[in-house]
Amino acid sequence: MEVGRPGHAPRLQFRAVAYVVEGLAFVAGGLLIAGGLYLVMRGAFPAWWQQRLLWPLVRVTPTVAHMQGVAAIGLGASIVTIVLTSVVSEAVGGILVLVAFLAYLVALALFLFSTWLSRRPA
């Protein structure tokens, strides 16, 4: 291995940056899953959250909070699944990408539906 070989250092730096980004994405996915589990178990957002953090929601009922929690779990699972595609074979990675895409779509649908539920007239 030559130390001064052109193109060698940028590849190592790219790998290091990729590992950092994967690690951050994995942590973010885990935090979304944990937050979603919290919402599903409690059925309410934390009391310390200000109203501006709940911006798209108007009336937060337990059903809306549960649906938001399931949406957060789906989004977190989607992120974690995408991160895992870098350590599995190509065939399994392709299947994981499809699963992640479906989990993202389900999370998006649940988020939009729960937002609509919170805004409709009683």
CA angle centred on 38, ends 34 and 22, rounded to 5° = 15
Q: 5-39 as b/e, with b when 16 or more CB fall inside 10 Å?
A: eeeeeeeeeeeeeeeeeeeeeeeebeebbebbeeb
Higher pLDDT, 55 or 68: 68
pLDDT at residue number 7: 57
pLDDT at residue number 45: 92
Q: Where residue 63 falls among pLDDT bands split at 50, 70, 90?
A: very high
Mapped onto helix, strand or coil, the DSSP state of residue 55 is: coil
**For the chain, where are the alpha helices, taking DSSP H only?**
8-42, 62-84, 90-119
Residue 1 has pLDDT above 50, yes or no: no
pLDDT at residue number 33: 98
**Low-confidence winner among 15-24, 60-69, 88-97 (lowest mean pLDDT):** 15-24
Q: Where residue 6 falls among pLDDT bands split at 50, 70, 90?
A: low
| Residue 23 in tokens | 């690690």
Residue 110 carries which side chain, given as an amino acid letter? L
Query: What average pLDDT does the segment 77-95 reach?
Result: 95
